[in-house]
Amino acid sequence: MRLGIDLDGVIANFNAGWMNRYNEEFGADLHPDLVTTWDGLFRLTHFATMREFWHWARGGEGPSIFRDLDTFPGAVETLRALSMRHDIVIVTTKPGWAVHDTFAWIAEKRIPTREIHVTSTKWKVECDVYLEDSPHHLATLLEHRPDAAVCRYVRPWNLPIPGVIDIATWDEFAGLVGELAAA
């Protein structure tokens, strides 16, 4: 099967990554459990808008915040195991300035994939199973890919959606993929 896997919030711990950098640069004490809404990160900072947040996140002459993210526990190991029987397809949304850092990060973390799509229209990438955390992308995947299994990686910033399968751990996702493959 083709498994369409998101990066930030699913494989990559985006919130811990940007908060670590923010804390170091501005002497703050932010921690990931403060994030409870989608697209409201700037409200936790001194930035007035998301546009200002993304300008800072770009990193000036150095790497962007997307270059230094840690993976969530179990993510890479589970993907490696799943890649023995299935195709891992990375389907992520990024600003143009973050694409090179994203490819470097995927290589450095040894994410087992041969296919990467950087797109804001994730539903256009055909997969059998999707694992996503964005409320917007979950809704559009469900709408445009009714024959696929659309899975919500449960996070504080997303809510259940009828027809979407809730996934709380990487082990749970691997189990679901095994069940779907056997069916």
Give Cβ neighbours of residue 183 (< 8 Å, ≥ 6 apart).
Answer: none
Per-residue pLDDT band at 62 (split at 50, 70, 90): confident
Entry pTM: 0.95
Is residue 49 within 8 Å of 144, Cβ to Cβ? Answer: no
Copy the structure tokens of residue 175.
Answer: 């189990």
**Residue 60, pLDDT above cutoff 90:** no
Q: What are phi and psi of 160, to 5 degrees?
A: -55, 145
What are the pLDDT digits (tens) for 114-156?
999 999 999 999 999 999 999 999 999 999 999 999 999 999 9
Reduced to 3 states (helix: H, G, I; strand: E, B; else coil), residue 8 is strand
Query: One-letter amino acid identity for 9?
Result: G
**Residue 34, pLDDT above cutoff 90:** yes
Mean model confidence pLDDT for the chain: 96
**Residue 61, pLDDT above cutoff 90:** no
